[in-house]
Structure 1
Amino acid sequence: MRISGKTAVITGGAKGIGSTAARIFCEQGAQVVIIDFDEQAGEALAQQLHAEGYDAAFFKADVADENDVNTVASTIIEQFGKIDILVNNAGITMDAMTLKMETSAFRRVLDVNVTGVFNCTKAFLPCMVEAGAGRIISTSSIAGTGGNVGQANYAASKAAIIGMTKTWAKEFGPKGITVNAVAPGFIETEMIKTIPEKVIAQIRQLTPYPRFGKPEDIANAYLFLASDEASFINGTVLEVDGGMLK
């Protein structure tokens, strides 16, 4: 198994891509800690994985709240002793055209998607530094590399993740810690049900590969970057988008 014996923290791990990643990481031998604001979904997933014989636990936290993150991180580190892998997967969207976007919506997306990544990375980094090894993987987006209409806040947040990833790769690399990002394209999650068919058809035309992405595609990218196979990959943004035209 590719990450056997490792302890992995996955934020936003209760549903969607995060829950798929939690399962795949468990299947590949990791002890998985799920952090999410959705307590009901997070507890249910951890209990299900545990019932199947996997080592999984859930902790509720709002990643945008520094005190909340620090409290939970301290508890997790004390309970598990080490954190080998951090997947900063938590993120939200609050889409609107710029002229109609409320400032509160702009700020909230940056609070969760950017400050949340900063909070979690800073909280779990010391134990990685102490161990002299670690993997930090954050979720960007093709919106962060090419922009997207109606997503000024989301695109800005995902571009910021790329900047932080490349900075942290330089800061943490000498300490034995790799920092990378994954930039998903259009992925089939529950969100697809809210998108008009006309928009989906337009996205389909921009995706050369003959299907949309699946949560497993992103989770497997996380897994690769977390594995020993990626030990010399640092500061990279891995686009998983089927070759989407930008």
Structure 2
Amino acid sequence: MSTGLVAGKLALVTGAGSGLGRAACQVLSREGATVIAADKNYASAVETIKKHTALASGSNGAEHSAVELDVSDSGAVQKLVQTTLQQYKSPPTIVINSAGITRDNWLLKMSEEDYSVVQNVNLKGTFLVMQAFAKAMTEASLPGSIVNISSIVGKYGNIGQTNYAGSKAGVVAMSQSAAKELGKFNIRVNAILPGFIDTPIIQTVPEKVLQGMLKMVPLGRLGKPSEVAELIAFLSSDKSSFITGASIDITGGF
């Protein structure tokens, strides 16, 4: 039988093909969870399961799995609920909403399409996944933990990211509202606001801009995806059983 913070639990992670989602799969599997890695890029989700999850599956003996998922497509999300129930006979009681995209541009130059696609993935996608899987948990009378990945940009804004900052601020308010509604079912909902983390999204930032950003971080470095994943695992576990509706900065002091 596995031991660990989340031993025997089933966890769904969106955006699992890279960055924070992949790191979350690594840490949750290490801590004993069976992981469903969901990503729009199926090949990268498969790579996460094959190369980046602990070999030991959860104490229920179930296998990790990779699935293709466009979080902004309600039909695809509903289908995933059904296939998960068929495969595992139970809904995941840990849901990590890590799928997110950027389409940066100046406010005065941003296209409506670039605005909408970011809202659809980051905000609507988080809503659809949270709604569908919270419903499955309530129908199975299971307690659970939902962790939604926001961003420190959602609190302070950022040049060139009006669309992204707006979507991530929405994730915080939505998480707080969902926590109030789902508490009676013993389903906890929290948001994490990462700062500058060494993920594929940050690798598009020019070096000069990056150095300027790091000057604003008291710890003087980028965060590691694994550091965010450790917080995700804690919030997913019974160690955080009285934490809900919280928005936790993980920024190196930014």
Q: TM-score, normalised by structure 1?
A: 0.95
Query: What amino acid maps onto 1:145 in structure 2?
Result: K
Paired with 2:23 and 2:167, the residues of 1 have a C-alpha distance of 23
Query: What amino acid maps onto 1:206 in structure 2?
Result: M
Query: What amino acid maps onto 1:104 in structure 2?
Result: E
Paired with 1:117 and 1:39, the residues of 2 have a C-alpha distance of 19
Residue among 54, 72, 81 paired with 1:73: 81
Is contact 1:209–1:242 with CA below 8 Å preserved after alignment?
A: yes
Q: Which residue of 2 aligns with 1:15?
A: 18
Q: Which residue of 2 aligns with 1:38?
A: 41
Paired with 2:115 and 2:70, the residues of 1 have a C-alpha distance of 17
Helix, strand or coil at the partner of 1:91: coil
> Quick check: which one's helix share is greater?
1
The percent identity for this pair of structures is: 36
Is contact 2:30–2:54 with CA below 8 Å preserved after alignment?
A: no
Query: What amino acid maps onto 1:189 in structure 2?
Result: T
Farther-moved stretch of structure 1 (184-193 vs 88-97)? 184-193
Q: Which residue of 2 aligns with 1:232?
A: 242
Is contact 1:136–1:180 with CA below 8 Å preserved after alignment?
A: yes
Helix, strand or coil at the partner of 2:201: helix
Task: Please say if 1:116 is aligned against 2:125.
Answer: yes
Q: Deviations over 1:88-109 (max 9, x none)?
A: 1100000000011110000000
Is contact 1:49–1:56 with CA below 8 Å preserved after alignment?
A: no
Q: Deviations over 1:54-81 (max 9, x none)?
A: 4310110100000111111211122112
Query: What amino acid maps onto 2:143 in structure 1?
Result: A
Query: What amino acid maps onto 2:74 in structure 1?
Result: E
Query: What amino acid maps onto 2:215 in structure 1?
Result: Q
Q: Which residue of 1 aligns with 2:100?
A: 91
Q: Which residue of 1 aligns with 2:60?
A: none
Paired with 1:51 and 1:126, the residues of 2 have a C-alpha distance of 29
Helix, strand or coil at the partner of 1:131: coil
Query: What amino acid maps onto 1:171 in structure 2?
Result: E
How far the C-alpha of 1:202 sits from its partner, in A, is: 1.2
Is contact 1:224–1:230 with CA below 8 Å preserved after alignment?
A: yes
Q: Deviations over 1:193-225 (max 9, x none)?
A: 321121111111110113210101111111110
Structure 1 alignment gaps of length 5 or more? none
Structure 2 alignment gaps of length 5 or more? 58-62
Helix, strand or coil at the partner of 1:206: coil
Q: TM-score, normalised by structure 2?
A: 0.93
Q: Which residue of 1 aligns with 2:212?
A: 202
Please, what is the CA RMSD of the aligned residues? 1.3
